[in-house]
Amino acid sequence: MFRDLFVDALRNIRAHWLRVVLTGSGIVWGIALFTALSAAGAATRDHYREKMEAIGRKVIYVFPGAVPRAGGASRHSRRVVLERDDPARLPESVLIDRAEPEIWLGPRVLKGGGHIKVVWTYGVGPDTGQIRNFRIARGRFITPADMAERRRVLVIGAKVEQRLFGRGSALGRTVRLDGHPFRIVGISPEKGEQMMNMGPRDDEQVLMPLPTAQRLFTASERIDYVIYEPRTRDEGWPSTARVRALLAPHHDVAPGVEEAFSFFNIADAIRLVDLINVAMQIFYLACGLLTLIAGGIGVMNIMLVAVAERTRELAVRKAVGATNRDLFLQLLCEAVVVTLTAGAAGVALGAGLIWVMAALRRSSTPSQFLVPDVQFSLATGLIAFGVLVAVGVSAGIAPARRAARVDPAVALRDE
């Protein structure tokens, strides 16, 4: 029985192929759009979150500000000067896991591998790598022993290594930074473009132990800012109030003076990006669902037209013994065959669109930063396929029921 229904459906589809193509095009595009947009939405969220977190997953920067002197006039304000001992005071709070000082030494001349380059240089502490998500591909990061002994060692970014030594390895090599000899002990993996960073990209930075930087370049215990990591991202803002309370007594500042310290919390930027991504995903989902609904409406309209065009055929079949059930199943089988075929084609087209987006991303370095790595999800494709098939079959029920209720005498007389 089902074989006969399938054969009849194929015969009718072949006889009215143009109508079927027009019907199926809406279904194909609906599934393709839903599949591609769903994958793009998820990939966009993950891509931009990763780019934002390149500076540090939970990092918070503490910058010194200024407080008014006695008398209150702004021109008599006093600058707050952070000290090397300040970061060690922050882990006294249960909200804070670790903290480190940093000094920005600006552009410095680095000689090595037969080349001379200007590099961006920082003095940092042992936990800076973890706080700032500055990973090591080869070698090691700065250690407490480097700090205690003021060793002349450097950790360099991937681009710095390429600019100085080309394809050669910089690990263990001796270089000269502003005339001072240093040994390279660590090289970072290439991060590429970053959505957010303090100064240049990590790939272009050179890091040294903070005591070494103070002795050779600043001759001062002053630090430029503090970076720290709260226990959780949600505890970021509560931790800033605690930081003010911990640092204020050591800088002759009242705890309630907000101008004394300013903060940059990466969680705020990530939260903004997440809100934008949620809006984009809702937009993508709405577009996909509307297209699926439009495809279902197209199925219903075309099947209604098919019933109207085949009134005489249906009446003759009913007159020679076909039951209402036979006619209902015949029309419904045609809707199912059209929907299944178009659904499979839509999943294939969606995979093709995703492949095009992936090829576009691989075309250039800027594209890798702007375009997320969209991957085809079989689960998403099957969900879209199942939803569209359900919509198509549901849309075919009303025309099939109309065909089943054809009165042979009335239909033949009208014809």
> Which residues have CB under 8 Å from 133's CB, separation 6+?
53, 54, 55, 56, 57, 59
- Under 8 Å between Cβ of 128 and 207: yes
- Under 8 Å between Cβ of 224 and 171: no
Rounded Cα gap, residues 157 and 163, in angstroms: 10
Rounded Cα gap, residues 310 and 302, in angstroms: 12
- Per-residue confidence (pLDDT) for residue 2, from 0 to 100: 54
- Per-residue confidence (pLDDT) for residue 30, from 0 to 100: 75
- Per-residue confidence (pLDDT) for residue 185, from 0 to 100: 95
- Per-residue confidence (pLDDT) for residue 213, from 0 to 100: 94
Please identify which residue in the block is written with the tokens 């903060």: 263
Rounded Cα gap, residues 343 and 90, in angstroms: 59
Q: What 3 state SS string does the chain have?
A: CHHHHHHHHHHHHHHCHHHHHHHHHHHHHHHHHHHHHHHHHHHHHHHHHHHHHHHCCCCEEEEECEEECCCCCHHHEEECCCECCHHHHHHHCCCEEEEEEEEEEEEEEEEECCEEEEEEEEEECCCHHHHCCCCCCEECCCCHHHHHCCCCEEEECHHHHHHHHCCCCCCCCEEEECCEEEEEEEECCCCCCCCCCCCCCHHHEEEEEHHHHHHHHHCCCECCEEEEEECCHHHHHHHHHHHHHHHHHHHCCCCCCHHHEEEEEHHHHHHHHHHHHHHHHHHHHHHHHHHHHHHHHHHHHHHHHHHHHCHHHHHHHHHCCCCHHHHHHHHHHHHHHHHHHHHHHHHHHHHHHHHHHHHHHHCCHHHHHHCCCCCCCHHHHHHHHHHHHHHHHHHHHHHHHHHHCCCHHHHHHHC
| Helix-helix angle 266-309:324-362, to 10 degrees | 140
Delimit the domains of the chain by residue range.
2-53+271-414, 81-252
Rounded Cα gap, residues 86 and 222, in angstroms: 10
- Per-residue confidence (pLDDT) for residue 209, from 0 to 100: 96
- Encoding tokens for residue 371? 């375009």
Per-residue pLDDT of the chain (415 residues; tens, 9 = 90+): 556 556 666 666 666 666 667 767 777 877 787 788 777 777 777 777 777 777 888 899 999 988 876 655 555 678 888 988 899 889 888 889 899 999 999 999 999 988 999 999 999 999 999 999 898 999 999 999 999 999 999 999 999 999 999 888 999 999 999 999 999 999 999 887 776 777 788 899 999 999 999 999 988 888 999 999 998 888 888 899 899 889 988 888 887 788 889 999 888 888 887 888 788 778 877 777 777 677 667 666 766 666 666 666 666 666 666 676 776 777 777 777 777 788 888 888 888 888 888 887 777 666 666 677 777 777 777 777 777 777 767 766 766 676 666 665 555 555 5
Rounded Cα gap, residues 279 and 283, in angstroms: 6
Amino acid at 178: D
